[in-house]
């Protein structure tokens, strides 16, 4: 007997392949439960037969989803992502997947199990994490299909909740920027805040800079890495840029060059530009609590402004002043200008209005006729 297809219920099949006898003469089988059509079950049978005939180890189907995710994280994820990303994946799966459905057998996991999981997440006020959870779980199960541990990916047949647009990003106006930076003059993080506003660097990128990354004579700063915090291991880690475009050289405004030059005079001439008082890398949360929030209060600005909003401020101000979105995208380190335009779509109406005014001046600048009353009304 090479293999069997046994119908258990509607759209449920038991796939069985004979592996031979063990040392005690007992028959050995590998079994897989397939939820789908007979064709899906036949495809699984064919894969198992090939795996058996080519000498590959075929694991029993008793593995739980929890155990499989351990294997996936170690064998498929860890070798190709940064340590911080691996830790974030692990923590997300632990909280949203492994605790509620980790005990389910991998081969028995159904689309409805995953659908119920997402429904419960929404009911618990965790709807904002559904899409990230789905991306990770779907990717993990896709690998299980490649490893021939399941016939098809149950996550392919799940309906996700309608995407809800987040609240509009918060960008400071020029007067607010002026008030904020004046409120940071006496702060040891003054140059750090100037850098975020003047370059649009991510805070994690700015905190990873060394003086070797800054060329004050040329007026540039080069991003080569970012600073991450591994919460589970309670240690800092320097990561490579997320994408090739994140590794970039950004021209500095002349005023920012002067600020950095002044910071250099008062700083130690070694390694990190911005450090904790201990000399170690600085934690963003500490900067926010000890310097950023107090500066917002002194400037009379909302406490809801985030440190990351200084990056948004940089991009928004450039777009509003007519800088080409492609240039803004390159300064931010986005992988494409489409991302920039999507994130800062709120700026586009103003840009469109300005474009219309410029076009009017170009095409009709010499005409001084008034707008016809029927149009004006």
Query: Domains of the chain by range and CATH?
Result: 3-53 (no CATH), 65-157 (1.10.150.130), 175-303 (1.10.443.10)
Q: Cα–Cα distance between 102 and 211 in angstroms, integer?
A: 47
| Per-residue pLDDT at 115 | 93
Which tens digits make up the pLDDT trace of 223-258? 999 998 877 678 888 888 767 888 999 999 999 999
Are 29 and 16 within 8 A, CB to CB? yes
Give phi and psi for 357, each to the nearest 5: -65, -40
Whether the Cβ atoms of residue 149 and residue 69 lie closer than 8 Å to each other:
no
Per-residue pLDDT at 200: 95
Mean pLDDT is lowest, of 98-102, 180-184, 218-222, for 98-102
Q: What is the mean pLDDT of residues 342-362?
A: 69
Closest by Cα among 215, 275, 226 to 249:
215
Residue 321 reports pLDDT greater than 50:
yes
- The pTM assigned to this predicted structure is 0.60
pLDDT digit string, tens, across residues 102-121: 999 898 899 999 999 998 88
375 pLDDT higher than 50: no
pLDDT digits (tens, 9 = 90+) for 323-344: 888 999 999 998 888 888 878 8
Name which of 7, 2, 33, 34 is nearest 17 in CA terms. Answer: 2
Q: What is the pLDDT of residues 116-155, one digit of tens each?
A: 999 888 877 777 788 889 999 999 999 988 887 887 899 9
Q: State the pLDDT at residue 57.
A: 47
């Amino acid at each position: 007997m090479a293999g069997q297809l046994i119908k258990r219920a509607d759209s449920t099949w038991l796939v069985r392949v004979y592996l031979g006898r063990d040392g005690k003469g007992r028959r050995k089988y590998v079994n897989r439960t397939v939820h789908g059509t007979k064709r899906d079950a036949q495809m699984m049978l064919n894969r198992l037969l090939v795996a058996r005939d080519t000498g590959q180890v075929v694991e029993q189907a008793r593995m739980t989803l929890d155990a499989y995710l351990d294997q996936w994280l170690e064998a498929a994820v860890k070798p190709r992502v940064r340590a911080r990303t691996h830790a974030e994946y692990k923590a997300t799966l632990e909280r949203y997947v492994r605790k509620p459905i980790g005990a389910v057998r991998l081969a028995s996991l159904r689309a409805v199990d995953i659908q119920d999981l997402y429904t419960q997440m929404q009911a618990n006020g965790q709807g904002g994490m559904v899409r990230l959870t789905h991306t990770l779980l779907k990717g993990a199960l896709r690998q299980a299909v490649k490893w021939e541990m399941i016939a098809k990916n149950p996550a392919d047949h799940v309906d996700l909740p309608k995407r809800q647009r987040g609240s509009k990003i918060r960008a400071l106006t020029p007067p607010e920027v002026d008030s904020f930076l004046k409120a940071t003059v006496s702060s040891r993080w003054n140059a750090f805040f100037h850098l975020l506003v003047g370059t649009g660097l991510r805070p994690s990128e700015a905190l990873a800079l060394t003086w070797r990354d800054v060329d004050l004579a040329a007026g540039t700063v080069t991003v080569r890495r970012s600073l991450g915090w591994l919460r589970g291991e309670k240690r800092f880690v320097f990561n490579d840029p997320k994408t090739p475009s994140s590794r970039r050289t950004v021209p500095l405004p002349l005023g920012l060059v002067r600020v950095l030059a002044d910071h250099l005079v008062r700083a130690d001439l070694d390694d990190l530009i911005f450090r904790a008082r201990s000399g170690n890398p600085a934690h963003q949360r500490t900067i926010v609590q000890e310097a950023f929030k107090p500066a917002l209060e002194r400037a009379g600005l909302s406490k809801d402004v985030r440190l990351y909003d200084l990056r948004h401020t940089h991009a928004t101000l450039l777009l509003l002043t007519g800088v080409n979105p492609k240039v803004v995208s390159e300064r931010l380190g986005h992988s494409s200008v489409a991302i920039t335009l999507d994130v800062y779509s709120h700026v586009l109406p103003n840009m469109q209005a300005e474009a219309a005014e410029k076009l009017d001046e170009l095409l009709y600048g010499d005409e001084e006729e008034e707008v016809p009353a029927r149009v004006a009304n």
